[in-house]
Chains A and B, each alone.
Chain A
Amino acid sequence: MFGYIVPEKPEMKIKEYELFRAYYCGVCCSIGKRHGQLKRLTLNYDSAFLAVLLSAIAEEQIDVRIKRCAVHPFQKRHIISGSPIVDYASDINIILAYYNLEDKQRDEASFVSSAGLVMLRKDFRRLREQYRDKCEVIERQLDELMRLEKEKCPSMDMAAEPFARLMEEITAYKPVCTDSGREEILRWIGYNLGKWIYLMDAFDDIEKDIKNQNYNPLICQFRYENQDVSEFRQQIRSKVEFTLIYSLNEISKAFELLDIKANKGILENIIYMGMLRKTENTLGIRRCSEVEKSV
């Protein structure tokens, strides 16, 4: 995952912010405790969101402790501990980090990615046994993604499909799916999350991919032909924005159908504001620099 799913901090209540951070720290500590301290480097916000979302519909009593941790030795923090959902989010974090490194290694071998792979290999093998079904789906989708990339797929929808399916699989965490309706909703949230993340990343990488002549669905679909990069981004912006916002709308509609028992404020903040802010910033809508020019 990429860490695009963030809260809109200025609009958060302080208690919500503290709780969100307790989840974030919870995932981090769970990684440290169960997989080893070094692996905490792989942590990102998306995993924290996953924990907050799944925890919101589970009937579980969360246990918030105040303690120190290795990363913040001088400050005591709120940390959620002993939650199976937080543990799940941390496992997924490790699994995806491993696949991500594997992908990087395939593109261009570097010291960092090979060192990371060596570091994570043992944990990954163990987790792969534990989550065999999920990992099989993930691997199938990643193979599909690789095939589409090789073919230089010229459709953003088609190219985003494998990653969207991957996220769908991750979000559908069986123990909280007490009925089929709930699973369906979670799957739809996951699908659209994945789509949004994939396309955000694609838009972010346009410049880099043009320079390195790597595959990028947006470059292929909108036929980049040596024009100015920022001009190209400008041209395709409204098209990409439409799909991104539409995905967010689907996430919000599915979210409204969930029977939320906790964390409502945090989730609303992220879904309605944090992700929209991230979208606008990535697309470069009403950026500071543009405002400055007009003065």
Chain B
Amino acid sequence: MKLKNPYEVLGIREGASEDEIKAAYRELVKKYHPDQYQNNPLAKLAEEKLREINEAYDYLMKNASARNNAQAGGSRSYDGRGWNRNDGNDFFSQVKSHINSGNIKLAEDMLDSAGRRPAEWYYLKGLIFMRKGWYDEAYNHLQRAVNMDPSNYEYRSALDRMTVSYNTYRGNSYRRGFTKNENDLCTFCQWLWCADCLCECAGGDLIKCC
């Protein structure tokens, strides 16, 4: 694989200051954080991207500190691991490990053949649906798992994550300047009409014809 320009990877201009590098890095880690891509078929690619970002960051920080001949710290990058390790032996943890390794078909066949359907069954089925892109079914199954076992943190957090993803997208849109439908011409006319009325009350007139 060819080495990429670390500045390009972080999306900053060459020769950016240390603060700029840090800020860009933090933004990107947030964007490609494993939490954002949990139960997503592209999780591995996101991990790769994060690794690339980490390498670029480490490289730049190392160079920066070499340049400044001082200043340690700050080059600790996030490794994005430390979640879902499971090595039990029973049926459901086998299913789970198939899901984690991306063997969705096998995991689904195993689940469908299971006679017993406890909360965990619905939880795992929900995760499979999420991978497949069946979001409505995924939500319903996770909801059902939570209802059956309300004290289980794992089920609840999977359900919460779905809601968070849903909100993330809207957040990103609004940040880019998306405005709600209220701010259209229709509302503009209402404001104009309102302003006209107020002016008339005060004895003046904004729009002569009405």
Interface residues of A (CB under 8 A from B): 8, 11, 155-158, 161, 164, 181, 184-185, 188, 191-192, 195, 239, 242-243, 245-250, 252-254, 256-257, 268-269, 272-273, 276-277, 280-281, 285-288, 291-292, 295
- B180 and A157 contact, CB distance less than 8 A: no
A292 and chain B: residue at smallest CB distance? B186
Binary CB contact string for chain B from 35 to 69 against chain A (1 if under 8 A, 0 otherwise): 01100111001101100000000000000000000
Which of A239, A257, A273 is the one whose CB lies under 8 Å from B49? A257
CB-based contact B166/A242 at 8 Å: yes
Residue of B with least CB distance to A285 = B181
Task: Kindly identify, within residues 169 to 193 of chain B, every residue whose CB is under 8 Å from any CB belonging to chain A.
Answer: 169-170, 172-173, 176-178, 180-182, 184, 186-187, 190
* Interface pair B32/A245, CB less than 8 Å apart: no
Contact partners of A181 in chain B: CB under 8 A:
45, 48
Most A CB contacts (10 A, CB to CB) among B32, B134, B165 go to: B134
| B168 part of interface (Cβ distance < 8 Å) | yes
Q: Interface on B for A, CB 8 Å cutoff?
A: 31-32, 36-37, 40-42, 45-46, 48-49, 129, 133-137, 139, 162, 165-166, 168-170, 172-173, 176-178, 180-182, 184, 186-187, 190
Complex Cα–Cα for A270 and B186 (A): 23
> Chain A: which residue is nearest B172 at the CB level?
A272
25 A–B pairs (Cβ distance < 8 Å), ordered by A: A8-B178, A155-B137, A157-B129, A188-B41, A188-B133, A192-B133, A242-B136, A242-B139, A243-B135, A249-B168, A250-B133, A256-B31, A256-B32, A257-B42, A257-B45, A257-B49, A272-B169, A272-B178, A276-B169, A276-B173, A280-B180, A280-B181, A286-B180, A291-B187, A291-B190
CA distance A39 to B126 in the complex (A): 44
Contacts of A156 in B (CB 8 A): 136
A276 neighbours in B (Cβ, 8 Å): 169-170, 173, 178
Q: Tell me the interface secondary structure of chain B in the complex.
A: helix
On chain A, the residues within 8 Å of B190 by CB distance are: 291-292, 295
Is there contact, CB below 8 Å, between B133 and A191?
Answer: yes
Chain A residue nearest in CB terms to B181:
A286
**Could you say which of A249, A268, A286 contacts B176, with CB atoms under 8 Å apart?**
A268
CB-based contact A184/B133 at 8 Å: no
Task: Determine whether the beta carbon of A242 is less than 8 Å from that of B45.
Answer: no
Query: Is B45 a contact of A246 with CB atoms below 8 Å?
Result: no
The majority secondary structure among interface residues of chain A is helix
A267 to B5, CA, bound (A): 24
Q: Min CB distance, B107 to chain A, in Å?
A: 17
Q: Note all chain B residues with C-beta closer than 8 A to A248.
A: 169
Q: Is the CB of A273 within 8 A of B173?
A: yes
Given contacts A157-B129, A253-B42, A268-B176, 8 further A-B contacts (CB under 8 A): A185-B45, A191-B133, A243-B136, A246-B162, A285-B181, A286-B181, A286-B182, A292-B186
CA distance A191 to B186 in the complex (A): 36
Residues of B with C-beta under 8 A to A239: 136
B133 touches A195 (CB 8 A): yes
Task: Give chain B nearest CB distance to A76 CB in angstroms.
Answer: 30
